[in-house]
């Protein structure tokens, strides 16, 4: 089979050097990559580097190899175009259809999915002109990855950093897997996902916790971003790297998770509770470390109930058409317990999986049945957590009310 053809567009920002790493990830994983830098990008990384790393010729203008009509051919034959970094100027040109070099021509001729990974100073990112250009591109189906927050060129910090190249690579992989459907069915939607496991402190050094790794919640976040959603990920104790283009809110306990989920859910189209939330917490938090005493048995730990976040958001929907999804980790009578839990919690969908010491927690795979409040049951065979995540979104999308501003037309 032919290798998937990827066009890596590089525009003129300091983060261009990070695109070398993205290029390596793409080529090493079996993609045929044609790098199309802008003239300005070559101030940061030269054509020799792009050519050597990609094994393909590199040009910036439309007047090289004219007999091959590159300004049309490169875009027409691509399976994916990813622009990383995308400067404010590049986003503006793409949004307005300006075609004054090879990359902008390629964006106009591409009929495949297009991913933009913007990088710029916070002021430029937040400027209404840039925000409107981003909205235009997203409305047409392009995936515009939210920039990361952190150190920018010079001493300043803020939103505008290019996300980690590994994470941009993950988005590209997801978008390529979805083909023409990428960036579309969740465009204009805000989804909130909780992931990981809460920890309930007993004293300054100990906590009650659980075995959730957070991987299923992160797979949901990545797949939602690749389908065009604005994603808020409420993360509890996972230690996993932030997925590109996702707003991450860190929490520790069930009470903190509840607060963060309720706040983010206020304008959400869908809320997915993949986190393992502790049902109980120690009734008393010891300010100092609990010490053992010679000859004395340890005192029992009294517990109190934590709020049930899933039941609460299902009962009091922030928006009437909001879709709420829960997860059920069961060890016995998996389906019967799942059906009962779906009724008790009042959510629209419940992903039921069997757990055990070696099952599900921490693994890259999962097997589940998705139960719907209308009685539908969708079995998901054993496979990558990303496949289960995509099935969840496939079931969420038709249940969303109208209001997402999806549009048809060219991605770029
Ligand atoms: N959940 C929640 N708040 C809690 C406990 C659980 O929001 N305090 C959510 C989880 O995020 C998950 C779902 O409820 O989506 C089911 O979690 P699970 O632990 O399987 O259910 P429990 O309510 O704990 O039921 P039981 O202990 O009876 O199995």
265 lines ligand 1 (CB under 6 A): no
Residue 287's Cβ-count burial label (10 Å; 0-12, 13-18, 19+) is: exposed
308 lines ligand 1 (CB under 6 A): yes
Phi, psi (deg, nearest 5) at residue 229: -75, 155
Q: Whose CA is nearest to atom 4 of ligand 1?
A: 308
CA of 313, closest atom in ligand 1: 7
Q: Looking at residue 412, what is its pLDDT? A: 42
Whether residue 44 is annotated as binding a ligand: the answer is no
The yes-or-no verdict on residue 401 having pLDDT over 90 is: no
Phi, psi (deg, nearest 5) at residue 22: -60, -40
Return the closest-CA partner of residue 119 out of 95, 141, 150. 150
Q: What are the residue ranges spanned by the domains of the chain? A: 5-181, 190-399
Q: Which residue has the tokens 């496991």?
A: 197
Cβ-based neighbour number of residue 212 at 10 Å: 25
Q: Where are the beta strands (DSSP E) in 132-239?
A: 143-144, 148-151, 157-161, 190-196, 200-203, 206-208, 230-236
Average predicted confidence (pLDDT) for the chain:
92
Q: Looking at residue 69, what is its pLDDT? A: 77
Residues marked active site are found at 210
Whether residue 159 is annotated as binding a ligand: the answer is no
Mean pLDDT of 45-51: 97
The yes-or-no verdict on residue 409 having pLDDT over 80 is: no
Q: Which residue has the tokens 């091959």?
A: 68
Q: Please, which pLDDT band fits residue 139 given cuts at 50, 70 and 90?
A: confident
227: which 2 tokens? Answer: 């389908």
50 within 8 A of 42, measured Cβ to Cβ = no
275 lines ligand 1 (CB under 6 A): yes
The yes-or-no verdict on residue 62 having pLDDT over 70 is: yes
28: which 2 tokens? Answer: 């090493």
Whether residue 345 is annotated as binding a ligand: the answer is yes
In this structure, the strands spanning 365-372 and 377-384 are antiparallel
Q: Please, which residues bridge with residue 159 across strands?
A: 149
Rounded CA separation 102/96 (Å): 16
Q: Looking at residue 360, what is its pLDDT? A: 59
Q: Looking at residue 408, what is its pLDDT? A: 39
Q: Looking at residue 361, what is its pLDDT? A: 65
The yes-or-no verdict on residue 41 having pLDDT over 50 is: yes
Q: Looking at residue 410, what is its pLDDT? A: 40
CA of 328, closest atom in ligand 1: 20
Q: Which residue has the tokens 């002021």?
A: 123
Q: 5-181 has which fold?
A: Rossmann fold (3.40.50)
pTM for this entry: 0.85
167 within 8 A of 243, measured Cβ to Cβ = yes
Q: Please, which pLDDT band fits residue 157 given cuts at 50, 70 and 90?
A: confident
Return the closest-CA partner of residue 287 out of 227, 204, 350, 214. 204
Rounded CA separation 18/88 (Å): 17
231 within 8 A of 245, measured Cβ to Cβ = yes
Determine the distance separating the centroid of ligand 1 and the alpha carbon of 193, expressed in angstroms: 14
The helix/strand/coil state of 184 is coil
The yes-or-no verdict on residue 227 having pLDDT over 70 is: yes
Q: Looking at residue 38, what is its pLDDT? A: 98
Return the closest-CA partner of residue 72 out of 98, 25, 111, 128. 111
Q: Looking at residue 394, what is its pLDDT? A: 95
Rounded CA separation 249/385 (Å): 22
CA of 337, closest atom in ligand 1: 29
The yes-or-no verdict on residue 188 having pLDDT over 90 is: no
The yes-or-no verdict on residue 402 having pLDDT over 80 is: no
Whether residue 292 is annotated as binding a ligand: the answer is no
Q: Which residue has the tokens 């008393």?
A: 284
345 within 8 A of 356, measured Cβ to Cβ = no
The yes-or-no verdict on residue 405 having pLDDT over 60 is: no
Rounded CA separation 191/382 (Å): 25
Distances (CA, A) of 91 to 59, 129, 298: 20, 10, 63
- Domain boundaries 190-399, corresponding CATH code: 3.40.50.10300
Whether residue 269 is annotated as binding a ligand: the answer is no
327 lines ligand 1 (CB under 6 A): yes
Q: Looking at residue 366, what is its pLDDT? A: 82
Q: Looking at residue 6, what is its pLDDT? A: 97
Q: Is the dihedral of CA 154, 42, 117, 2 positive or negative?
A: negative
- Of the given ranges (249-253, 305-309, 397-401), which has the lowest mean pLDDT? 397-401
> Helix, strand, coil % (nearest 5) of the chain?
35, 25, 40
The yes-or-no verdict on residue 411 having pLDDT over 80 is: no
Determine the distance separating the centroid of ligand 1 and the alpha carbon of 265, expressed in angstroms: 18
% of residues, the chain, pLDDT over 90? 77
The yes-or-no verdict on residue 288 having pLDDT over 70 is: yes
Q: Which of 273, 275, 338 to mutate to test the pocket of ligand 1 (most atoms within 8 A of CB)?
A: 273
Rounded CA separation 365/381 (Å): 10
The yes-or-no verdict on residue 72 having pLDDT over 70 is: yes
- Of the given ranges (41-55, 120-134, 191-205, 398-412), which has the lowest mean pLDDT? 398-412
Question: For 322-366, how does the pLDDT look when each residue is reduced to its tens digit (9 = 90+)?
Answer: 999 999 988 888 999 999 999 999 999 999 988 765 565 667 778
Rounded CA separation 372/144 (Å): 31
Q: Do domains 5-181 and 190-399 have the same CATH topology?
A: yes
Rounded CA separation 147/247 (Å): 10
243 within 8 A of 221, measured Cβ to Cβ = yes
Determine the distance separating the centroid of ligand 1 and the alpha carbon of 369, expressed in angstroms: 16
């Amino acid at each position: 089979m032919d290798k998937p053809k990827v066009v890596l567009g590089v525009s003129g920002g300091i983060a261009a050097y990070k695109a070398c790493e993205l290029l390596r990830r793409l080529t090493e994983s079996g993609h045929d990559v044609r790098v199309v830098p802008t003239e300005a990008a070559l101030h940061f990384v030269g054509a020799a580097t792009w050519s050597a790393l990609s094994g393909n010729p590199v040009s910036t203008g439309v007047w090289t190899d004219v007999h091959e009509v590159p300004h049309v051919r490169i875009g027409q034959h691509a399976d994916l175009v990813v622009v990383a970094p995308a400067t404010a100027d590049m986003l503006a040109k793409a949004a307005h259809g300006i075609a004054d070099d090879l990359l902008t021509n390629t964006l106009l001729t591409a009929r495949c999915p297009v991913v933009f990974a913007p990088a710029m100073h916070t002021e430029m990112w937040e400027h209404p002109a840039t925000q409107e250009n981003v909205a235009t591109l997203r409305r047409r189906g392009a995936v515009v990855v939210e920039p990361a927050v952190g150190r920018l060129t010079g001493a300043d910090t803020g939103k505008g950093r290019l996300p980690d190249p590994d994470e941009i690579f993950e988005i590209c992989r997801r978008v390529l897997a979805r083909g023409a459907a990428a960036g579309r069915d969740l465009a204009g939607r805000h989804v909130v996902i909780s992931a990981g496991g809460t920890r309930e402190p007993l004293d300054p050094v100990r906590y009650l916790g659980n075995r959730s790794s957070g991987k299923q919640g992160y797979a949901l976040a990545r797949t939602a971003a690749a389908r065009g959603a604005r994603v808020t990920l409420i993360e509890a104790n996972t230690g996993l790297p932030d997925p590109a283009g996702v707003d991450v809110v860190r929490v520790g306990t069930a009470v903190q998770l509840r607060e963060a989920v309720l706040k983010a859910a206020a304008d959400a189209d869908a809320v997915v509770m993949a986190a393992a939330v502790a049902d109980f917490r120690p009734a008393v938090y010891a300010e100092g470390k609990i010490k053992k005493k010679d000859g004395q048995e340890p005192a029992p730990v009294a517990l109190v109930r934590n709020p049930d976040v899933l039941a609460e958001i299902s009962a009091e929907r922030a928006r009437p058409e909001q879709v709420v999804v829960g997860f059920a980790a069961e060890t016995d009578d998996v389906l019967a317990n799942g059906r009962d839990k779906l009724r008790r919690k009042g959510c629209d969908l419940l992903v039921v999986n069997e757990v055990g010491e070696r099952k599900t927690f921490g693994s890259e795979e999962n097997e589940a049945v998705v139960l719907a409040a209308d009685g539908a049951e969708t079995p998901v065979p054993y496979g990558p957590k990303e496949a289960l995540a995509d099935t969840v979104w496939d079931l969420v999308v038709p249940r969303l009310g109208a209001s997402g501003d999806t549009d048809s037309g060219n991605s770029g």
